[in-house]
Amino acid sequence: MREIIFDTETTGFDPLTGDRMVEIGCIELVNRVPTGETFHCYFNPQRTMPPSAQAIHGLSDAFLADKPLFAAQVGELLAFLGDSMLVAHNARFDFGFLNHELKLCGRPEISLERMIDTVAMARTAHPGAKHSLDALCTRYGIDRSHRIKHGALLDAELLAQVYIELTGGRQIGLGLIADEEGADLNATISDTFDAGQRPVRAPRIFFPTDQERERHRAFVAGLTDPIWQLGEKEVAPL
């Protein structure tokens, strides 16, 4: 199962009012295990960067001036995304900007059916708690000390670790691979161990000692109205 964790940085909050995407970072997971394959690109938004947005991600007009337009990189991006499910934190925000950029360059939008939102997952897993990426990293013990400002690839890397925890933890990826010839390497111990080769041990039979028998008789004699004697007495109706 292939999934793509992605994050975007933008000039603001709403593409319908002229905001643009300026960075995207993508991490490939196969069977919930990072493969090391990534896609990362900055884009020239063809507009000025508001100071409030620059304060969040640190991307200035000068830095983005020589970066490619989204349309120039869209083919490579879509090839990386393929038809995989796409995972993002507050995913409708990222999907909104991604689909807006695709629309501007005449490409089909990506269906929301491919969307997995880790905010929604976190609300289900931890109702009433904080669900920001920082809060979830703290909850799961994920090191984010190097996250001084927001960055699409860095945030996607952190989110990949959060997503793995939200979907069962790091052990979920152990053994979920196949060898080069396609043989399944996910066999359990019982699958790989021949029951006919198991050592046969004689049963160990234990008998109570005379002292234990006497202690048991004394204990039973001291019980008040044991249930096995109810049939010997007249029981009052309820």
How many other C-beta atoms can be found within 10 angstroms of the C-beta atom of residue 93? 18
Residue 74's nearest CA partner among 113, 109, 122 is 109
**23 and 43 in contact (C-beta within 8 Å)?**
yes
Which residue among 57, 100, 131, 150 is the active-site one?
150
Helices (H), the chain: 51-57, 61-64, 70-81, 91-104, 118-125, 133-140, 152-166, 189-192, 210-221
DSSP 188: -
Quick check: is 146 catalytic? no
d(CA 4, CA 7): 10
d(CA 11, CA 58): 11
**153 and 22 in contact (C-beta within 8 Å)?**
no
**156 and 6 in contact (C-beta within 8 Å)?**
yes
d(CA 48, CA 113): 33
Residue 186's nearest CA partner among 196, 194, 176, 195 is 176
d(CA 9, CA 53): 9
Residues noted as catalytic: 150
